[in-house]
């Protein structure tokens, strides 16, 4: 496993991050989830990403239980706050001081730890003053409950404003967690250049485009039984945008590039996002331990310029690149 610094900080994280969105507490039984976490540890993964909203808090509990007995100082545990949790009451969502302060205590309890290494604003909250949000984060850092602060799916302008406030309050904003893959490149035009300037790293989710970049979805073919595309708990809606014949045809053309690099299509996809120097880590999920081991083998892979050019030639015509698609809800759902 290779490691990279997260933003302009001294914190090192594993290039491959184990994440449990759509799996723990939902799609995958707890025993299989625990086996996958242990496979991640065996593969050298030390960084684990979750959120209080995943499976309405259940995912944090599953992850915390799976990590019991591990040396805490050897792990980097990330979680997030914003989306509705619990009964989704009027204060059970957003980035108000009340919700942040209550949410961190719940997350720490479920994860079985006294602190999280990175606490992330899961989206930008248009209904709470940014000053209130950043002050709450600053207080959590000073209380020792949070070591570092990050965000998820913030625009370049939002990152700039958050970074400035954090600096005024005596802490750093060091990371952003956007969706990023060969097929979804909306951060490249504005978010990445701004982040480089500010010392913010990307921790990217869905590097395999919800499984589309594994090549298992074929143009004109039936959706594989039991796949994410058939999961009505959330997986199907997340993957739908990529299930077009032009996208699936382009993905099949990546196979020779992967073969020449000695990689599976999934490993090629994960390795591709890691070629971006602003990306500190790629979040991968798994429903089986063997998936974790395979994805972890993308760490440290270097793709040459010819391979990167061939990938762009095949995929860029069907990729989504509009920076305006980096958005947070204007109104909270609660």
46 near 58, Cβ under 8 Å? Answer: no
Instruction: Using the predicted structure, report yes or no on whether residue 227 has a pLDDT greater than 90.
Output: no
| Percent of the chain predicted with pLDDT > 70 | 93
Say whether 54 is catalytic: yes
Question: What integer is the mean pLDDT of 156-172?
Answer: 98
pLDDT computed for residue 287 by the predictor? 79
DSSP string, 218-252: PTTSPPPTTSGGG-TTTHHHHHGGG-SHHHHHHHH
Question: What integer is the mean pLDDT of 248-263?
Answer: 95
Pairing between strand 47-49 and 146-151?
Answer: unpaired
Question: What are 12-29's pLDDT values in tens digits?
Answer: 999 999 998 866 555 567
Please check whether residue 330 lies inside any domain of the structure: no
Higher pLDDT, 265 or 229: 265
Please check whether residue 1 lies inside any domain of the structure: no
Point out the catalytic residue in the list 18, 54, 124, 148.
Answer: 54
Instruction: Using the predicted structure, report yes or no on whether residue 230 has a pLDDT greater than 60.
Output: no
Measured CA distances, 119 to 46, 57, 134 (Å)? 16, 15, 12
pLDDT computed for residue 217 by the predictor? 84
193 near 186, Cβ under 8 Å? Answer: no
Q: Tell me which residue range forms the domain holding 51.
A: 12-325
Question: What integer is the mean pLDDT of 299-310?
Answer: 96
273 backbone dihedrals φ, ψ, rounded to 5°: -65, -30
pLDDT computed for residue 233 by the predictor? 63
- Residues β-bridged to residue 49: 19, 78
Q: How far apart are CA 85 and CA 333, in angstroms?
A: 11
- Residues β-bridged to residue 151: 121, 176
Q: pLDDT band at residue 237, thresholds of 50, 70 and 90?
A: low
Question: What are 200-222's pLDDT values in tens digits?
Answer: 999 999 999 988 999 888 877 67
Q: pLDDT band at residue 31, thresholds of 50, 70 and 90?
A: confident
Which two three-digit tokens encode residue 315? 């995929």
Count structural domains, the chain.
Answer: 1
Counting beta carbons within 10 angstroms of the beta carbon of residue 223, is it exposed (0 to 12), middle (13 to 18) or buried (19 or more)?
middle
Please check whether residue 127 lies inside any domain of the structure: yes
Instruction: Using the predicted structure, report yes or no on whether residue 229 has a pLDDT greater than 60.
Output: no
Question: What are 107-159's pLDDT values in tens digits?
Answer: 999 999 999 999 999 999 999 999 999 999 999 999 999 999 999 999 999 99
Please check whether residue 181 lies inside any domain of the structure: yes
Three-class secondary structure of residue 309 per DSSP: helix
Report the candidate in 301, 201, 314 with the shortest Cα–Cα distance to residue 256.
Answer: 314
Please check whether residue 121 lies inside any domain of the structure: yes
Measured CA distances, 177 to 27, 78, 135 (Å)? 22, 11, 21
Question: What are 42-101's pLDDT values in tens digits?
Answer: 999 999 999 999 989 999 999 999 999 999 999 999 999 999 998 989 999 999 999 999
Question: What integer is the mean pLDDT of 181-209?
Answer: 97
Q: What is the CATH number of the domain that holds 275?
A: 3.20.20.100
pTM: 0.92
Please check whether residue 264 lies inside any domain of the structure: yes
């Amino acid at each position: 496993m290779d490691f990279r610094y997260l933003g302009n900080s001294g914190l090192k994280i594993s290039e491959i991050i184990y994440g449990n969105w759509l799996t723990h507490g939902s799609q995958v039984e707890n025993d299989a989830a625990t086996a996958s976490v242990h496979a991640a540890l065996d593969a050298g993964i030390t960084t684990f990403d979750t959120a209080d909203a995943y499976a309405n808090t259940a995912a944090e509990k599953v992850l915390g239980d799976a990590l019991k007995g591990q040396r805490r100082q050897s792990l980097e545990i990330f979680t997030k706050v914003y989306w509705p949790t619990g009964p989704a009451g009027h204060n059970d969502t957003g980035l108000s001081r009340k919700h942040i302060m209550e949410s961190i205590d719940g997350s720490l309890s479920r994860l079985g730890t006294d602190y999280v290494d990175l606490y992330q604003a899961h989206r930008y909250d248009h209904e709470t003053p940014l000053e209130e949000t950043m002050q709450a984060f600053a207080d959590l850092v000073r209380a020792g409950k949070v070591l570092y602060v990050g965000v998820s799916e913030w625009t370049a302008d939002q990152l700039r404003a958050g970074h400035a406030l954090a600096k005024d309050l005596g802490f750093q904003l060091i990371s952003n967690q956007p969706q990023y893959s060969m097929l979804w490149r909306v951060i490249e035009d504005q978010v990445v250049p701004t982040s480089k300037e500010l010392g913010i790293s990307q921790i990217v989710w869905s590097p395999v485009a919800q499984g589309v970049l594994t090549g298992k979805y074929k143009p004109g073919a039936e959706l594989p039984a039991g796949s994410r595309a058939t999961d009505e708990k959330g997986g199907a809606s997340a993957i739908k945008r990529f299930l077009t014949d032009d996208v699936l045809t382009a993905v099949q053309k990546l196979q020779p590039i992967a073969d020449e690099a000695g990689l599976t299509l999934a490993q090629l996809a994960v390795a591709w996002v890691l070629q971006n120097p602003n990306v500190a880590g790629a979040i991968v999920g798994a429903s089986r331990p063997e998936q974790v081991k395979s994805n972890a083998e993308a760490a440290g892979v270097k793709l040459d310029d010819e391979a990167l050019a061939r990938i762009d030639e095949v995929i860029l015509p069907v990729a989504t690149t509009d920076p305006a698609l980096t958005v947070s809800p204007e109104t909270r759902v609660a």
